[in-house]
Amino acid sequence: MSAQHQRPNILWITSEDNSPFLGCYGDAFATTPTLDKLASEGFRYTNAYANCPVCAPARNTIITGVYAASNGNEQMRSTYPKSKLVIPYSELLRKAGYYCTNNVKTDYNFAGDYKAMWDECSPTAHWKNSPEGKPFFAIFNLLTTHESQIFPYISDAELRHKPEDVVLPPYHPDTKEMRHDWAQYYDKIEDMDAQVGSLLKELEESGLAENTIVFYYADHGGVLARSKRYLFETGTWVPFIVRIPEQYKKYFPAEKPGDTVDRNVSFVDLAPTLLSLIGEEKPDYMQGNAFLGNAVEPEPRYVHLTRGRMDERIDMSRAVLDKKYRYIRNYMPFRIYMQHLAYLFNARSAQSWENYYQAGRCNELQSIAFQPKPVEELYDTENDPNELYNLADDPEYKDVLERMRKENIRWMKHIRDVALIPETEYAKRAGDGSMYDYMRSEACPFDDLLAAAELATEPGKGAIYDYIELLKNKDSAIRFWGVTGLLIHIDNAEQALPALKAAADEDATATAVLIGEALCRLGEKELAETIFLRILKDEHRTMMERTWVLNSVDAIDFRTLELEKWINDFYNGKKSELKGFDVYSNYDFSMCKTILEKWDVI
């Protein structure tokens, strides 16, 4: 048998939107016999993470081996170009002689022909279609546990997991809807487990199990509110199990099947690991570390996580974690954690939480979700697994805070973090090219951007006069960080009012919007309204530019007759055009709906 034929087949089974709610991870409420058995036959990873806590950017990282924040593909539901230098792993595997199938989800968050990346990409794609003698790589994406599966109501009587038996996390209020959705979700986990069982049985019956390495993992955490989309453990920690046949025991990551592996693993490591398993070299552009195969690399000390725009809600956070602490830096702390996101709030549990908070029925811990974020967060995840008690201001943890803060800056510089530039400027700067390439070009003032972002988000009273100077910079993104610093430190920013007024004719949308928001917070409401309406009424502005304005209008609850008229007219003009998922992917429409509902207009 040739060396090529000795290479393993590889089967990936992914589930959607679920944290490690499995019996093998110690969850007594879960009913997961298949995955528990798989863990006993394979290796269960205890420190595996999605680098982004939501589908598309998480999958962008997986398919490229490059952080979505480095690719310029971090913003949820976008199709910005991918660099031609960055090649999806499926194409590399095919070039190496593998038959590659995907059944069926793509969702890679960049522009391109996804199907062309695979030998077969369809609801019928299957390893059994592989030519005889050719090794296969096959993915099956199970949608059963997706967030949307808790939207349709299932009666309590039909639930197998009973709401009264749910052990609620302390950050969730004890509402009927919360208990119900948790129970319904555990039913979906059980259904997903059965689907995994069917696939593994089919593999066994095909006679290929002894030649096939099986991976099971979830595409990020989830799914009830404060998990998916958030950089906490609940949104990023994933179940991850690998079963390796005896003939490939040289690849065992621990002594024997059934053992756990505590190595730090994240999705950016998957593409390099695939190449290592099939004996191919990792391209220089890949940013992860192979953790299995012929070319295992050293374990990273840290895992890096990112959060950008989530559908219609604009935000930016970065996180660094080791095996004891999680550090989060919030670059837009003037936005609350639980912004009202249209898709998320289809869940009755999320609605009930918001209603409880507005009625004053949430306790202090449950109320945090609806309050502005601190600039920095630090959690001892060993002793505070729910990440409820922020240690960033505790002098006892000063050394840890500084260490993690420095690591975040080092990493952002290393990957050339695209989020230092507002999304509304991508096309202007990159043209038809990718932001990955732009950030590495001489045109990008990267070091100045990073310094401005760090200065803007420094804790304490801020550097107001430095922010005023940033507002005068020739680069609009650096001006963006100047006004961001003023907004974060708005209580000390009164002396910046003349500079903000002088900047009111700013043309770069994101910068102009935040100038308007800062002016409004400092009492200059008429000037703020002028800025917002100038952008909203400009027919040459994009959906994303309008969405930026509407995020600010909502955040400061800025209601004027003319703004309300524009929002109402826009909403009614689009309402009849949109159907199905279009309602959620037209972000300016979603924002108009949210604002009008809050104002009791609709």
pLDDT digits (tens, 9 = 90+) for 96-143: 999 999 999 999 999 999 999 999 999 999 999 999 999 999 999 999
pLDDT digits (tens, 9 = 90+) for 27-73: 999 999 999 999 999 999 999 999 999 999 999 999 999 999 999 99
Q: Judge whether 503 and 476 are in contact, CB under 8 Å.
A: no
Catalytic residue selected from 55, 121, 444, 592: 55
Q: How large is the average pLDDT for residues 238-260?
A: 98
State residue 46 phi and psi, 5-degree precision.
-105, -5
- Record the pTM: 0.98
* Percent of the chain residues topping a pLDDT of 70: 99
**pLDDT score of 415 more than 90:** yes
Spatial separation of the C-alpha atoms in residues 451 and 465, rounded to whole Å? 15
Position 292, amino acid = L
pLDDT digits (tens, 9 = 90+) for 295-352: 999 999 999 999 999 999 999 999 999 999 999 999 999 999 999 999 999 999 999 9
335: its two tokens:
């936005």
The confidence score (pLDDT) of residue 6 equals 83
**pLDDT score of 418 more than 90:** yes
Spatial separation of the C-alpha atoms in residues 115 and 102, rounded to whole Å? 9
Establish whether 362 is a catalytic residue: no
Q: Strand 99-103 relative to strand 136-142: parallel, antiparallel, unpaired?
A: parallel
Q: How large is the average pLDDT for residues 474-490?
A: 98
**pLDDT score of 3 more than 70:** no
> What residues are paired with 137 via a beta bridge?
10, 100
Residue bearing tokens 């930016």: 316
Spatial separation of the C-alpha atoms in residues 278 and 266, rounded to whole Å? 20
Could you give the domains of the chain? 3-300 (3.40.720.10), 514-602 (no CATH)
